[in-house]
Structures are given as C-alpha cells and as structure tokens.
Structure 1
C-alpha cells in the first residue's frame, strides 16, 4: 500500500511534464516481477467481504489484479511511461483464469505495458498482468487505460485503404457457434437480479483493502478537484462485485468488462444479468449503464 501511495504522488508530480498523443511515444520495456509468495489471509478475507465473494477456497477472479496493481502503477507513473497518469481512465478489463488458484500457492506476478493505440477520444494503453505458480501461467489479464486528448487525425493513405469488396472479404463468417443464435440483450434489457445500496464511504473502505487511495474515490472534496461532484466507486470494485454473482467461477474461461460511466457515491445500483450470468450489467437510476460484462465459459 505504501508503494502504491508513493506511485500516486510521483504520478501527480510527473504528469504535467508528459504530453499524450506524441507520434514518437514508446512504451517502457520493463517487466516488474513480484517474487512468488502466498497470499496473506487477512487482506484476502477483507477483500472477499467487501466485494461479496464467498469463501470458496480459490482466489477471487479479480484478486491477482489487485495484488499486482502497485507494480502496474509504479510502471505507469515512471519517467519512461509516455502518458500522464492524472486523468487516466480505466476503460475495460479482460481476465483469463487458466485454472483456480489456491491462496496457499506461491504466486509470482509480472506486469508490463503491452501496446499503445490511438482512440477516438485520445490514446489508450493496454497493460498486462500475468500470474504464475512454479512457472505455470495460471491467470492473466489485460486492461485498457485511456488518456483523453484531442486525437491526431492523419490523412488517409489511398494506397492502404481497402475497397468495399476487400473490406467485406475480411468480415468473419457465421460459424456453428454463432449461426442462428439470437442477438444478445442490450444492457438496458437484461433482467434485474439484485439491487445494491452503496454507502458514501465505499471508496475509502475499498481503498483500505486494495491500497488504491486515488483521491477521486475518497471524499467529495478530493473528487471535486478532478471534476467529479462526489466521490466515485472504484471500477474494480464494481467489476468484482458483479463477478461475485457468477454462478460457477471455476467454469469461467474468460471475462470481459467494459466500464461505461462512474458510480457517484452514495448510490443505489441494479445488477442485471441473463439466466446463465453470461451477460451482465450494472445500472443506475434511469437505466444509466455503469458497466457491461460478458463471460465465456469452459466446455
């Protein structure tokens, strides 16, 4: 937690000296690795309680991300990282649990910046986290973080622009797994499964458990300094709370969550999902969509 707080301070100090959208921007090649260690039972239990995970024995699907986040922040707030960390928005996460991980297994964690891509609202970086047990890759995730700025609009190269016929040839064709399948329900159409009342101090409580004490999550005053009227819930808390409703976490092959809109605290939100829990969403008043998720199951 101390290292994460130090990274936040360093990121705030260095952000004014960084300019997103530079055409010559390059990502640092560093791959910080945390040596293999078993998970501390006390913090794990506290995390499970605040996120709604049951004590099933295996680590919650999102917990390796939390364990590695101080190293991720240290990389993103370093001098070699091209984007300013202030204002960086977590836009999505993909998680692939290759097998259940027991808390007693010594977990080695590695993080690195995978790629930098233009985005319609700025520049997006993809950060990767990998967890290994005795050299075996047991869990991995990719996360998108958006630095908002006026996007560069280079002139298109006519020689590289495909014709309509060529573009159509690249579209995927229907397969046995998708042909005839009805379209997935929109986030607004998914049936409500639960309603959660989120207290105003949720950001401080989750921050104490995860170590992520970003000011936007703590108090209305500190959130207003960054343009929010009130403190907002951590995106990874909303993701974890929804995944805690997954019927069989051990059956998850991959999961993708896209963060749509912040949750202003306090709040009342609705967890909505299809019957299998493969498609889910978190909605606020007026069907405001905070996140959408999709689970790909094994078998």
Structure 2
C-alpha cells in the first residue's frame, strides 16, 4: 500500500479542481490496484478557524478541541484520497451513510496532531458499494482519536447484502432548533466542505434536491455540542451516527437525547417528529 506524506495540509483550491476532474473521468477508467495512505505528520490548529467552528456548531469554548473538530483537520486528506487516480469511485455523488468517532482522550487546543488517512476494501450494499475512510489522529506518537466515515457509491447493488443500522430510539424532544438557509455556507466556511448540495438552492437542485441541505457532520457536531453543554459528554467515548433523511434548509427541527448508564441515545427529527434526519449512540469508555 503506497504512502504519501505531506509537510503541510493540501490546499482546497487544487483539491476541488482534482475532485471535479475525478468525477468527470471516463466510465471505463481502471484505478490502480493498491490503496493509498496519506500522512500529515504535523497539523497546526488555527485558533480563529477553531473559534468559527465552535460558533457554527455550538461547542462551548474550552482548553480542548470539540470532539468532531479533528474530522475537519482530516477532511483535506479525505478529498485528496478520493480525487487521487488510485481511487476507484467518482467522488461527487458519494453518499455519507454513517460516521463513528472514538476519542480516547480530549485533544488540547494547542496540540499539533499527526493525521493518517486510508480507505478500507469495498463491500456490497443493496444500493451499490460501500467503503470506509479511516482517519487516525496522534499526539506525541499516540493515537488519541479515530474516525470511521462510511460512504456509498451508488450502482446496481446486492439486494441480499447486510446493512448495519443503529436501532431507532424512542426519544422525546429536549430542544427545537431553527436552522437558517445560510447554515450550509457557514459550515462550509468553517469545515472546508463546499459540496454544492449544501450551499444554495440552485446548486442543490442540480443534484436532485429541492433546496440546499445541512451537512451531516454539522448535525453530528451540533448534537454532541448540545450533549456537552448539558454536561453529559465524557472525555473518552465512541459515538456513531447514521444519516437518514436529508435535512433541508431552512427548517425547524427537534433534537432529543437520553443517557442510560454509559450509553446515550440521541436523534434529530423534523418539526412534526415524522422524519428522522440523524440517529446516534454514544458509549462512554
């Protein structure tokens, strides 16, 4: 498995240009046989950028990074991986199914973590093919945070393939959130994820949505921020979310969570509690 090492985080301008090029490549394209691992030995944390991320997601200020922030640090390497000629799928149109973060200890805001990103072998899904992009964040040579992002490339799938889903919890709302139409653009500025489906009504309609939709990782971050503000987010944990129905912007949504022992179930629903946008489960370590 080849490894590419960087001295600095790759720039988004060139990454998005490569992403568009990779999406337009010919249908009979044959990728390289071996997967690719990307490594960034040192990632500097911009404190102004961190402050903007806290502002859009709701995480309170503090001496440690928000639990989802390392995903933002790793995201340029995700784009680099999926736009590389060795990557077997067209990056635009890939569907984010779920995300699992394991935090062994909080990361200090002035840390300079090392980041390693690679993908797993593909596996069948009723709607195509799924694979995982794995991110590992290390401080002083110790892995302290990992992220498993499960993605779907749509194609003729295997109807008999097993689909791993979190169970639907029975939750009453603990908060109502009014989400403005510019939320996708605000989160894009803070995260670097400028997928057109999140930005404007017209750009989202080009991909089949009636209007722009919220980022799945914004929804996960906002949920964990609400749990942290309630004093229920431990220092060490694993937390998985499944992304169900797209969250159209603007909208009003219900958020609910319920701790039971070391497990906290949470979910994000539409205003009528009829559609489920996100289901999550957190397990304290």
User: Could you tell me the TM-score, scaled by structure 2's length?
Assistant: 0.86
Output the CA distance in 2 between the equivalents of 1:30 and 1:285: 43
Output the CA distance in 1 between the equivalents of 2:19 and 2:175: 38
Q: Which residue of 1 aligns with 2:47?
A: 41
For the 8 Å contact 1:5–1:213, the answer to whether it is kept is no
**Which of 8, 11, 29 lines up with 2:16 in the alignment?**
8
**Which of 112, 127, 137 lines up with 1:106 in the alignment?**
112
- Superposition misfits of 4+ residues, deviation over 6 angstroms: 24-27
Q: Where do 5+ consecutive residues of structure 2 fail to align?
A: 1-8
**Which of 241, 247, 271 lines up with 1:263 in the alignment?**
247
SS in 2 for 1:237: helix
Q: Which residue of 2 aligns with 1:292?
A: 279
Q: Give, in angstroms, the shift of residue 77 of structure 1.
A: 1.1
Change (3 A) 1:213 1:14: same
**Which of 271, 275, 283 lines up with 2:269 in the alignment?**
283
Supply the RMSD in Å over aligned alpha carbons.
2.5
Q: Which residue of 2 aligns with 1:220?
A: 201
User: Could you tell me the TM-score, scaled by structure 1's length?
Assistant: 0.82
Output the CA distance in 1 between the equivalents of 2:150 and 2:271: 26
* Matched pairs, number: 267
SS in 1 for 2:121: strand
Q: Which residue of 2 aligns with 1:137?
A: 143
**Are 2:183 and 1:202 aligned?**
yes
SS in 2 for 1:222: helix
Change (3 A) 1:268 1:27: farther
Q: Give, in angstroms, the shift of residue 137 of structure 1.
A: 0.5
Q: Give, in angstroms, the shift of residue 103 of structure 1.
A: 1.2
Output the CA distance in 2 between the equivalents of 1:17 and 1:194: 45
Output the CA distance in 1 between the equivalents of 2:94 and 2:234: 32
Q: Give, in angstroms, the shift of residue 236 of structure 1.
A: 0.5
SS in 1 for 2:226: coil
Mark the structure with the bigger radius of gyration.
1
For the 8 Å contact 1:61–1:249, the answer to whether it is kept is no
How do residues 179-198 of structure 1 correspond to structure 2 at under 5 angstroms?
Answer: 186-187=168-169, 189-198=170-179
Q: Give, in angstroms, the shift of residue 40 of structure 1.
A: 1.3
For the 8 Å contact 2:184–2:212, the answer to whether it is kept is yes
Output the CA distance in 2 between the equivalents of 1:122 and 1:218: 26
Change (3 A) 1:192 1:12: same
Q: Give, in angstroms, the shift of residue 272 of structure 1.
A: 1.0
**Which of 115, 118, 125 lines up with 2:131 in the alignment?**
125
**Are 2:70 and 1:89 aligned?**
no
For the 8 Å contact 1:34–1:109, the answer to whether it is kept is yes
Output the CA distance in 2 between the equivalents of 1:52 and 1:248: 15
Q: Which residue of 2 aligns with 1:243?
A: 224
Output the CA distance in 1 between the equivalents of 2:158 and 2:168: 32
Q: Give, in angstroms, the shift of residue 252 of structure 1.
A: 3.9
Q: Give, in angstroms, the shift of residue 152 of structure 1.
A: 5.1
For the 8 Å contact 2:22–2:85, the answer to whether it is kept is yes
SS in 1 for 2:86: coil
